[in-house]
Amino acid sequence: MFIGKINQRNKHILIFSVLESVKFGGIDGLITSLVPFDDSRLASANSECPSIMLDFLFYRITNLYIVSNWKSRIEYTKYLLKSESSPFIIDVCTHHNADISKYVAQLLPSPSAIGNTYKIRKCYHGLLQNGTKTDAVSGWLVYASFYYVTGQFNVSLRLTDYVLSKCLPDRMKEDDDKRECETSRNCYRQKIHYTMNLNERIKIATIKNVEYIPNSSLIPEELQLEVETKY
């Protein structure tokens, strides 16, 4: 396991090392290279610890998107889902596919436009339903925005109430791990079970913020000035 700072000199060697461990050892090789089983920190830990630490690594890097080509990215995740065999990698691709769906939905024509077709509405529902799989709340809030901009305020309120019921102190926020918040980590450990796959753990134990893209078709009118030129 590498202990030290990652810099311009060693980053390529480290990336190559990780890729080699994945190539020859699959996800188990990656876990071993990141968290050696003879590490003294794991000596007193339970058997789920390496898996949980891999989760935390995933949360640390999952939002490092380059903001472009959302449609291409969602197609690429679909390709990976068909070609990968590792359950963890499949879960990661499924999560990214769902997360990107929330952005692709915002690229569609306005759902409140006059003469909007059934086909476009169907696309919205498909993408937004997929987007609810990313965590406990953010996908549902984007869905609430869809109902808000189409004037279905009662549905939007019900979804918002549902989201509020899920914003509990025992859920880990997406940026808590970056601050090394041990309280959030402990809540996460208590919330999940080792038999759950990654996506089940994400939906049950984490919450994320909503992000609107500039000129989003789903941004409520009251917030449009906030995203004219930035996310």
> What is the Cα–Cα distance from 76 to 79, expressed in whole angstroms?
5
Percentage of the chain with pLDDT > 90? Answer: 23
Q: Is 206 helix (H, G, I), strand (E, B) or coil?
A: strand
- Locate tokens 């937004």: which residue? 128
Q: What is the pLDDT of residues 120-177, one digit of tens each?
A: 888 999 999 999 999 999 999 999 999 999 999 999 999 999 999 998 888 888 655 4
Domain ranges for the chain: 1-44, 47-227
The predicted pLDDT at position 68 comes to 64
| CA end-to-end distance (rounded Å), the chain | 36
Higher pLDDT, 80 or 14: 80
Asked if 111 and 120 count as a contact pair (C-beta separation under 8 A), the reply is yes
The full length of the chain comes to 231
Q: Is the pLDDT of residue 85 over 70?
A: yes
Provide the b/e sequence for 197-226 (b: ≥16 CB within 10 Å). Answer: ebbebbbbbbbbeebbbeebbbbeeeeeee
Lowest average pLDDT, out of 90-94, 111-115, 116-120, 197-201, goes to 111-115
> What is the Cα–Cα distance from 52 to 60, expressed in whole angstroms?
12
Q: What's the mean pLDDT in 191-207?
A: 88
Q: Is 66 helix (H, G, I), strand (E, B) or coil?
A: coil
Single pTM value for the model: 0.72
The predicted pLDDT at position 165 comes to 94
